[in-house]
Amino acid sequence: MAYQENSEITKSFRSGCLCTSLVAALVLALLVASCASPCLAQEMAQGPAPRLASDPHVDSHVAEAIRQASADHIRQTIEKLVSFQNRSTISAQDDASIKAGKGIGAAREWIKAEFERYSKDCGGCLEVKTDTFTEQPADRIPKPTEITNVYAVLRGTDPKQANRIVLVTGHYDSRNSDTFNGTDPAPGANDDGSGTAVSLECARVLSKAVLNKVKFPATIIFLTVAGEEQGLNGSKHFAQMAKQQGWKLEAVLNNDIVGGDRSPQQDASVVRVFSEGLPAAASESEIRRIRMLGGESDSISRELARYIADVGRSYDAGVKPLLIFRLDRFLRGGDHYSFNQQGFAAVRFTEFREDYNHQHQNVRSENGIEYGDLPKFVDFDYVAHVARLNAATLASLASAPAPPATVRMLTKNLENDTTLTWEPSAGATAYEVIWRSTNAADWEYVQTVSSGTRATLKVSKDNVIFGVRAVDTGGHRSLPVAPEPER
């Protein structure tokens, strides 16, 4: 609680000032004589005392939408994906195999048809698309291989904000013990049937919300990629496309192994959210700036992770995000990294405790141990909870104004106050300055700025980390933006 240690505002309150910004102008005028003058000056400049940043915010439409996520529907999705036998990127995708319901081609066609079915149910609200390319031979790609990402677009309703995009993804390819085996069972119920099911379920419930007249000003994309197990090929291609086409992609939620494996040590009350610290895409000069600022824990991916923590406090998803301040688990990687490499904010959701007998294994029994990624090890209620947390995050971000641009912290003079400036955001009616101690993991305090795009706080920039976010009349909060120092 560094604020209490450092803040001049707190000191003034401690010294017994009775002023409050809520009193009427007349009362305020009468109090001027009795109130210590620095106190009044501060309050007039500052507005009300800061609130705790952990205040939840609930949009009843979003709460209603996420309740529609169904464990039973998710079970059907995962069982269907498993029925394709082997969804390795190098498995069959010829017409006969698709017709026989075997291989990755059949999985791809089914996912596409599923998105199209949701779209039909919401009066055509989703645009269903594919992103197909040929991957040339590489370590885990023995011959030129066609890879297809399948996605659905829920276009934003505000023409000024529809170019803002938030995205959820999972990988629909699977593998068994042998990366080059495209025929024997590779059920991939958890890895990553669960993540694919989360993306599909988010599409289903949020498109249903739109049918019920809920509006999302920004665009939401529901993506399923292939090639993850062969080298993140699908996500790499998609992220490069987003970068080349100049997408305003604000957030990527990658769900990989969110099945809540039913091992005795599992903790089904949490889902891990991994986020990188130093951005993979940062240049040498940017790294230098981060070092000077002490900004190692304020990458855009980390701000996204904190946003998810905020959503977790606001909505009853049935599972709480457990933020892990690290790119990924040891010896493993995932599709969020492809987006990080292109400079996008991207995090990974993964169950609390993985069972390595149930991933990347041939289906078999040995010495009484069952191996293989089978549906019976998946906790479908847990996947539904993770889907709710994802859907609430997507809906919150897509309902919120754009994050403020060009956020600056003035550092021209040696002073104990902090002045922040920024540019107006589309859809914003106010802004919030948030801050925390340099050694705190999450935001601690928030102060509303109800007019203008500049704020001076009696808090020393030397002692805390600041962020600025935009809010609208409904209380929706944008992602926070860390300020850059300006001299």
Helix (H, G, I), strand (E, B) or coil at 284: helix
**Is residue 365 packed enough to be buried (19+ CB in 10 Å), middle (13-18) or exposed (0-12)?**
exposed
> What are the structure tokens assigned to 467, written together?
């962020």
Q: Where are the alpha helices (DSSP H) in 212-249?
A: 228-231, 233-244
Per-residue 3-state assignment (H helix, E strand, C coil) for 291-315 = HHHCCCCCCHHHHHHHHHHHHHHHC
Identity at 437, one-letter amino acid code: S
Nearest in space to 162 (alpha carbons), one of 393, 343, 346, 398: 398
- Judged by beta carbon, residue 192 or residue 355, the one nearer Zn ion is 192
Contacts (CB under 5 A) with Zn ion, residues 86-115: none
Nearer residue to Zn ion within complex by CB, 256 or 276: 256
Q: Show the binding pattern over residues 239-258: x = contacts Zn ion (CB under 5 A), - = does not.
A: -----------------x--
Label residue 221 exposed, middle or buried (CB < 10 Å: 0-12, 13-18, 19+).
buried
Q: How far is the CB of 97 from Zn ion (least distance, A)?
A: 23
- Residue 191 binding Zn ion, by CB under 5 A: yes
Apex CA 407: angle with CA 403 and CA 413, to 5°? 160
Q: Which stretch binds Zn ion (CB under 5 A): 78-86, 93-101, 192-200, 283-291?
A: 192-200
If the CB atoms of residues 158 and 228 are measured against Zn ion, the closer one turns out to be 228
Nearer to Zn ion, 59 or 228 (CB): 228
Size of the site for Zn ion (CB under 5 A): 3
Which part of the chain contacts Zn ion (CB under 5 A), choosing from 69-77, 117-125, 189-197, 374-382?
189-197
Beta bridge partners of 378: none
Within residues 342-381, the interface with Zn ion by CB under 5 A covers none
Q: Are 344 and 280 a contacting pair, CB within 8 Å?
A: no
CA-based end-to-end distance of the chain: 28
Q: Contact between 192 and Zn ion (CB under 5 A)?
A: yes
Q: What would the two tokens of residue 278 be?
A: 């130093």
Q: Which stretch binds Zn ion (CB under 5 A): 184-192, 201-209, 341-349, 476-484?
A: 184-192
Question: x/- contact string, 301-340, with Zn ion (CB under 5 A)?
Answer: ----------------------------------------
Kindly indicate which of the ranges 39-47, 188-196, 313-321, 362-370 contains the residues binding Zn ion, using the contact rule CB under 5 A: 188-196
432 binds Zn ion (CB under 5 A): no
Instruction: Point out which span in 175-183, 191-199, 235-243, 291-299 binds Zn ion (CB under 5 A).
Output: 191-199
For Zn ion, the binding residues (CB under 5 A) are: 191-192, 256
